Amino acid sequence: MPVSDSQLTQMFEEVLALSNVDETQSVAVLKSHYSDQRTVRAAFDAAQRLGAKVYSVELPAFNHPRAMGTDMTAYCGDTPLTGNRAAQTALEAADLIVDTMMLLHSPEQEQILKSGTRILLAIEPPEVLARMMPTREDRARVLASKELLEKASLMHVTSKAGTDFRAPLGQYPTVPEYGFVEEPGRWDHWPSGFLFTWPNENEAEGTLVLDKGDIILPFKNYLREQITLEVREGFITGIHGGLDAEYLREYLAYFNDPEVYGISHIGWGLQPRAQWTAMGLYDKSDGICMDARAFYGNFLFSTGPNTEVGGLRKTPCHLDLPLRNCSIYLDDAPVVLEGDVVAPDAAIVR
């Protein structure tokens, strides 16, 4: 059902209040012509209602010649902010940025965060924002799992479909996403509700089986057949299956970059209001499908860049692949069993 402008403004007011926006704060709304103008207005008006000093930074659109498709996650690295030091300085002056145009996976975003400015990304349709309004309970659930993941030295993932994947941990930090930014230098995405880390470099091994109904982003389709991925020394070395596997092979090969095959972040979904089925109800141009990334009990792994946590893989191709019905173990202790969260303080009685 459609969300009214009044409701959208009220929603932003609640999320910005969770992010500690008040009369002592300055808020920049980062936008371009392709930003959802309702989202831009609601963010601006909500920050004003909270007494913050508000201003806009508008940048022109940017399209890299090698980018395919219109999804904002389909090409990483360069953004409309690349090389625009004046605009970056204006953004670093803010206490909080509402990003309605997507700076993720860019060096400029990391530089802004290191200045202490916090960033809230909001690019999904208003109706998705409404269904997955962040709460303090979401934060508590994600942080409880973060504590477990930070202590673990090995993640082992299995499934009845054939997944048997092991990733030694400890080299990289754990990142929680719950939809608001209450601490200096924090980035988050509304909507969200999951957590992840990265395998130690060149140490992830095993088999990942994408089963029927699993999702590849940014393709935004449900698989009709299985794809089997062989992983050796942290990289995908084999892609087996039918047409879906051929499509994936051709897409990755297009970038002509061995780094696109690297295993990037790995973790699991913790948002009960996100739905596996939701992607089928939207056009492919409607946002980036955060439902798929966050739905409760998924195993989410990705490929490509890891520079946002100090890694050396700077590559333009980034895939997110949420799998259903997996079991996830941390040092042999289960946190997800066949797609159901069992981690302490994170499981929800249904």
Boundary (domain end) residue, out of 102, 123, 144: 123
Mean of the per-residue pLDDT values for the chain?
95
How high is the pLDDT of residue 309? 86
Do 161 and 117 share a domain, yes or no? no
Number of structural domains (the chain) is 2
Among 123, 147, 164, residue at a domain's last position: 123
Q: What is the percentage of the chain residues whose pLDDT exceeds 90?
A: 88
Residues 196 and 294 in one domain: yes
Tell whether 146 and 96 lie within a shared domain.
no
Tokens of residue 314, six digits: 């700077």
Residues 60, 141: one domain?
A: no
Residue 296's nearest CA partner among 142, 127, 180, 150 is 142
- Tell whether the model's pLDDT for residue 127 goes beyond 80: yes
pLDDT for residue 207: 98
What pLDDT score was predicted for residue 312? 85
Does the pLDDT of residue 1 top 80, yes or no?
no
CATH number, domain with residue 88: 3.40.50.2300
Residue 22: predicted pLDDT? 98
Are both 61 and 184 inside the same structural domain? no
Read off the pLDDT of residues 293-320 as tens digits, 9 standing for 90 and up.
999 999 999 999 998 888 888 899 999 9
| Distance, C-alpha 113 to centroid of its chain | 16
Same domain for 143 and 115? no
Closest CA to 91 of 224, 205, 187: 187
Amino acid 77: pLDDT: 82
Mean pLDDT of 230-248: 98
pLDDT in tens, 19-45: 999 999 999 999 999 999 999 999 999
185 & 262 share domain: yes
pLDDT grade for 349, boundaries at 50, 70 and 90? low
Verify that 205 and 165 share a domain, yes or no: yes
Which residues are paired to 269 by β-bridges? 194
Q: What does R_g of the chain's alpha carbons equal in angstroms?
A: 19
* Assigned domain for 91 exists: yes
Is 173 within a domain? Answer: yes
pLDDT value for 65:
83
> What's residue 350's pLDDT?
58
pLDDT average, residue stretch 157-162? 98
Judge whether 21 lies within some domain.
yes
Q: Are residues 192 and 319 in the same domain?
A: yes
pLDDT tops 90 at residue 63: no
Structural domain contains residue 349: no
- Of 180, 174, 165, 179, nearest to 196 (Cα)? 174
Do the domain assignments include residue 212?
Answer: yes
Q: What is the pTM of this model?
A: 0.96
Domain that holds residue 42: 5-123
62 and 137, same domain (yes or no): no
Structural tokens at position 157? 């993932």
